């Protein structure tokens, strides 16, 4: 039996599609990365704790903002700052009680001094002398971290020790790039500091064409982008890499997030290069920029192994406890939603990169701990509205036998840059179905939409084609004809699936986002592996758009714009008195229980409360939703719809099916 899991936390208009796009100016990776220069932020001032007996220290008449705020580990230069008008004439820097020397005053309130920490280093102290004869002091104590230990995501300023061995050279990078033979050599602990105020060049890269429709066009961040520190390490024998390189992410001096954090680390070219970058319009768009309908073209619309890139994956629980740290593969996930600025991803555990599985307790209460593939989802089209729908609506169905995707809202960082709110999800595929039902994945058949093959062999679509042909040619009000259909599809699963879609009023269905599956080796088996067709519920982002009075049942039964293969099963089955009675009874039960207004609102309120603390930063980064006020309005629209939807559907059952 499959289980589903609601998130720990628990729209009114579908997105317009563009008429056409024209090419923007060419973007180059080197140009964007040139923005990555060492800039300096502020850190805390603390008084010096030690003072000579009898020494009188007169504080400056005004705060000077004396800081120790950046370290260039490659050039071994420590930097800091002070207020420009503070009248500072000399800055001295101490390591413990040892004077390192007098810092260079660089102008614009900046100072620097050569420094390389040692394994004995513990603290730094800086004294600023003023033209008034007064002085100010600040002190920085370092935490000790080891790259080889499962350290917390969150740390104060730290000295990080990297792994070494007598026969190899340890090289590292701090920008997410893979260490190579020319990367910096590790010789002493790395000083890690808060990166506030430094550039975030990846966040300034346009991720859809400049001529995209205004309501889903990429826009630059309006708030400073939170930055983590990513350390990638590779040991070399000469110029030959030894073992697999690894990465670690630290949020130095940052407030803990209220959600788990997923850190993805990869060479920037893998996402943003015009030729091989999977996250940008790139060469595909440049070569075919216009004259098309729908969501347009771009590198991000490509799929398959050729568009998979290596990535290092780290997953941290809310408290910063590390859960996953491994190399994997990554691809863009989604079709139309891939054209939106923030994109969903798929993660692939493969022997090519490292472990063959993601092995961890990712989803609380979940029966599985091993996952072959995971999704890092942006809520699809709902990323512009509530960012709640698919997780909440699937969670409402956890007491049914429908296949559902576990979900956890999470904060994502990419190469140390804040990348916004996502959802870590299970992915529907042969691995999911085999794991949940104890089946051989090679016997799993998955079809989509009108019966197109997704997973399996070409002949695996024939049983479904034959089923549709049968219901077209036979009157299912005849009991033996209905029985023939029941032997080939799980009717109760089919009913629960349709009741859910109709309650949600999903406008991106039934002529899209349809998947169903069977176990081809299921003759004589029981349960989900019995060989009958069952349905996969997903992508509910276009639900609750039209409000509580939307007659989704009438649309499904009568709208001639819906393709016949998408509706022929339900319309034919409703000719069977047995099926019709079961359908109405099950629909009414769900309205009274699964979709009871107070239950739906409780799920929604829990989800909204979970996301709300983190949404302002997300909005500042991606500009969608457009504001907290708009988000709250859209969430309230969902509440209002949930309160009135059951009564409206009861009326439609009577109107369309004569239900008493």
State the pLDDT at residue 529.
94
Q: Which two tokens stand for residue 331?
A: 């691809």
Distance CA 101, CA 107 (A): 18
Q: Give Cα 554 distance to the centre of its chain.
A: 36
Q: Rounding to the nearest 10 degrees, give the CA dihedral for residues 182, 188, 192, 197.
A: -50
Q: Give Cα 126 distance to the centre of its chain.
A: 41
Give the count of beta carbons closer than 10 Å to the beta carbon of residue 63.
12
**Across the strands, what pairs with 81?**
67, 110
Task: Tell the burial category of 429 from Cβ atoms under 10 Å away from its Cβ (0-12, 13-18, 19+).
Answer: buried
Q: Which two tokens stand for residue 244?
A: 């697999």
Distance CA 366, CA 3 (A): 8
- Please provide the CATH number assigned to the domain covering 67-141: 2.60.40.3110
Q: Which two tokens stand for residue 171?
A: 């090289």
Q: Residue 287: phi, psi to the nearest 5?
A: -80, -25
User: If the chain, 660 residues long, is cut into consecutive pieces of 10 residues, what is the mean pLDDT of each piece?
Assistant: 37 32 35 36 35 37 79 96 95 96 96 97 97 95 95 96 96 97 97 96 97 92 97 97 95 97 98 98 91 78 96 97 97 93 98 96 94 97 95 96 97 98 98 96 97 97 98 98 97 98 97 97 87 97 96 98 97 98 98 98 98 98 97 98 98 94
Q: Where do the domains of the chain lie?
A: 29-36+145-212+220-340+344-377, 67-141, 437-657
State the pLDDT at residue 55.
36
Angle at 656 between CA 651 and CA 657, to 5 degrees: 100
Which uninterrupted H or E stretch holds 640? helix 628-657
Q: Are 376 and 344 in contact (CB under 8 A)?
A: yes
Task: Tell the burial category of 303 from Cβ atoms under 10 Å away from its Cβ (0-12, 13-18, 19+).
Answer: middle
Q: In angstroms, how far apart are the furthest CA atoms of the chain?
A: 105
Q: Which two tokens stand for residue 459?
A: 């002949």
Q: Residue 58: phi, psi to the nearest 5?
A: -90, 120
State the pLDDT at residue 64.
80
State the pLDDT at residue 129.
97
Distance CA 435, CA 323 (A): 21
Q: Which CATH class is domain 437-657?
A: mainly alpha
**Does residue 510 have a cis bond before it (omega within 30 degrees)?**
yes
- pTM for the structure as a whole: 0.89
């Amino acid at each position: 039996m499959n289980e589903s899991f609601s998130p720990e936390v628990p729209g009114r208009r579908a997105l317009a599609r563009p008429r056409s796009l024209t090419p923007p100016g060419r973007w180059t990776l080197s140009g964007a990365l040139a923005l990555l220069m060492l800039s300096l932020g502020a850190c805390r001032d603390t008084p010096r704790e030690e003072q000579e007996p009898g020494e009188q220290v007169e504080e400056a008449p005004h705060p000077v903002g004396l800081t120790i705020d950046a370290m260039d580990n490659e050039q071994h230069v420590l930097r800091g700052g002070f207020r420009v008008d503070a009248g500072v004439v000399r800055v001295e820097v101490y390591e413990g009680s040892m004077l390192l020397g007098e810092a260079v005053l660089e102008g614009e309130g900046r100072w620097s001094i050569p420094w390389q920490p040692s394994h004995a280093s513990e603290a730094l102290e800086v004294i600023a002398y003023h033209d008034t004869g007064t002085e100010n002091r600040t002190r920085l104590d370092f935490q000790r971290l080891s790259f080889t230990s499962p350290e917390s995501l969150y740390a104060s300023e730290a000295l990080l020790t990297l792994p070494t061995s007598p026969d190899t050279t340890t090289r590292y990078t701090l920008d997410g790039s893979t260490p190579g033979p020319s990367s910096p050599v590790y010789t002493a602990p790395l000083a890690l500091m808060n990166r506030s105020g430094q550039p975030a060049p990846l966040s300034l890269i346009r991720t859809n064409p400049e001529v995209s429709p205004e309501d889903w066009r990429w826009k630059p961040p309006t708030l400073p982008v939170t930055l983590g520190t990513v350390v990638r390490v590779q040991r070399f024998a000469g110029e030959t890499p030894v073992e697999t390189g690894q990465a670690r992410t630290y949020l130095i001096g940052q407030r803990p997030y209220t959600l788990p954090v997923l850190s993805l680390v990869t060479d920037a070219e893998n996402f943003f290069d015009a030729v091989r970058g999977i996250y940008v319009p790139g060469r595909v768009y440049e070569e075919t920029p216009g004259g098309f309908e729908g969501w347009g073209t771009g590198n991000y619309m490509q799929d398959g192994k050729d568009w998979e890139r290596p990535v290092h994956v780290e997953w941290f629980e809310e408290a910063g406890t590390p859960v996953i740290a491994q190399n994997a593969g990554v691809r863009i996930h989604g079709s139309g939603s891939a054209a939106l600025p923030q994109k969903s991803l798929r993660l692939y555990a493969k022997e090519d990169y490292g472990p063959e599985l993601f092995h961890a307790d990712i989803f609380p209460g979940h029966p599985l701990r091993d996952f072959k593939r995971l999704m890092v989802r942006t809520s699809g089209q709902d990323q512009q509205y509530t960012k709640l729908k698919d997780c909440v609506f699937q969670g409402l169905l956890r007491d049914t036998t429908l296949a559902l995707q576990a979900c956890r809202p999470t904060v994502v960082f990419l190469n140390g840059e804040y990348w916004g709110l996502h959802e870590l999800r299970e992915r529907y595929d042969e691995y999911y179905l085999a794991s949940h039902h104890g089946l051989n994945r090679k016997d799993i058949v998955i079809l989509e939409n009108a019966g197109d093959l997704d997973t399996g062999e070409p002949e695996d679509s024939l049983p479904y084609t034959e089923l549709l042909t049968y219901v077209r040619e036979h009157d299912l009000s005849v009991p033996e004809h209905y029985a023939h259909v029941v032997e080939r599809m799980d009717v109760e699963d089919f009913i629960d699936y349709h009741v859910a879609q109709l309650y949600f009023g999903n406008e991106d269905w039934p002529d899209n986002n349809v998947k169903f599956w069977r176990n081809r080796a299921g003759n004589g088996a029981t349960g989900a592996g019995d060989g009958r067709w069952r349905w996969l519920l997903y992508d509910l982002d276009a639900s609750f758009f039209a409000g509580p009075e939307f007659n989704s049942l009438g649309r499904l039964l009568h709208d001639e714009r819906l393709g016949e293969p998408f509706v022929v099963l339900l319309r034919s089955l409703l000719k069977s008195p047995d099926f019709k009675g079961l359908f109405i009874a099950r629909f009414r039960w769900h309205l009274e229980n699964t979709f009871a207004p107070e239950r739906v609102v409780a799920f929604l309120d829990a989800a909204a409360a979970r996301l709300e603390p983190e949404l302002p930063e997300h909005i500042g980064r991606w500009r969608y939703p457009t504001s907290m006020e708009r988000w709250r309005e859209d969430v309230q629209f969902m509440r209002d719809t949930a309160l009135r939807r059951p009564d409206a559907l009861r009326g439609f059952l009577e109107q369309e099916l004569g239900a008493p």
